[in-house]
Each structure stands twice: as C-alpha cells, then as structure tokens.
Amino acid sequence: MNKPESLRAHLLATVPELERNPDRLLVFIDDGSIRCTAARTLSWEYAYRLQLILTDYAGHPDAVALPLLGWLRVHQPELLANLDKAREGIHFEADILANDKVDLAITLPLTERVVVGRDADGTTTLTHPAEPQLDIEPPEPGTWYIPHG
C-alpha cells in the first residue's frame, strides 16, 4: 500500500506544525480488506480506513484540511466528486487538551488498485495505477493564508 506513506509525506511537507514536529503525526490502517474478482490476472483492490492522529496539535484545523483535500483530489478524487462517498468520507474527532492544543483524529476511506500483469519475458508484474484525475486546480502550499484569531 502506497497511499498512507504518500499522505503522511504530503502532510509533513505542507502543515508547518507537523514539519517542525513530525513525530506528532501518527498513521493507522483499520478495517482493511482485499477485493479480488478471481479474474485471469488476479488483480485486486485494497480497501481500508486510514486514521491520522495529530497529537498535541496547536495549529488551526484549516491548516490540515486544505492540504488533506488537495491530496485527496489527486489520490482519492471520488471522495470529493461523489456526494454519496463524500457523505460517508472524511470524519474527524478532537480531544481538547488545553485552550491551544488538541489531539485531532481524521479518518477517511481509501482504496488502492493493484494490477497484475506480465512483461515481455513472462515475468509477473505488479503496478499501482494512479487514480483518474478531476479537472480542479488546488492552491499550492505556501500560497494560502489562515488568519489566527
């Protein structure tokens, strides 16, 4: 599975507080399953709930939401484009630790396809194809501002 590490790296690079304190971002995979139709190639799909936990987070939630939505636009676009999936999609909870700190848990359903094929030599190959893309341009990190107050 590639998406958990991809999202983790993205958040560490785009959320200033996580960039300074990467150990405060925990990533868990829950309720995972493998779906395979027993087709000739045995290609399959991973499906799971990804849980992100930001511990002792003192930043604004918008500073996490915007980069998360930008990542989803590329890596799980149906969570943004399909209203039924969006309704069931991104969930969060927060434990308020102090006036300026929370433990923030974000849960989202992810899928990853694995395509089994054969190369010219007959060797079995495994590829993780990219998701179909939406025609939306997200803001680049560093080009948006979240006022505090």
**pLDDT per position as a tens digit, 128-142:** 988 877 665 656 666
- State the pLDDT confidence band at 143, using cuts at 50, 70 and 90: low
pLDDT at 126 over 70: yes
- Please check whether residue 25 is in contact with residue 12, taking contact to mean a CB–CB distance below 8 angstroms: yes
Of 131 and 27, the structure prediction assigns the larger pLDDT to 27
Q: Establish if 146 belongs to a structural domain.
A: no
In this predicted model, what pLDDT tens digit does every residue of 66-90 receive, in sequence order? 999 999 999 999 898 877 777 778 9
144 found inside a domain: no
Q: Inter-axis angle of helices 62-75 and 3-14, to 10 degrees? A: 140
Per the structure, the count of domains in the chain is 1
The identity of residue 12, as a single letter, is L
Residue 78 in any domain: the answer is yes
User: Domain of 97?
Assistant: 2-127
Whether residue 94 lies inside any domain: the answer is: yes
| Close Cβ partners of 10 (under 8 Å, ≥ 6 residues apart) | 67, 70, 71
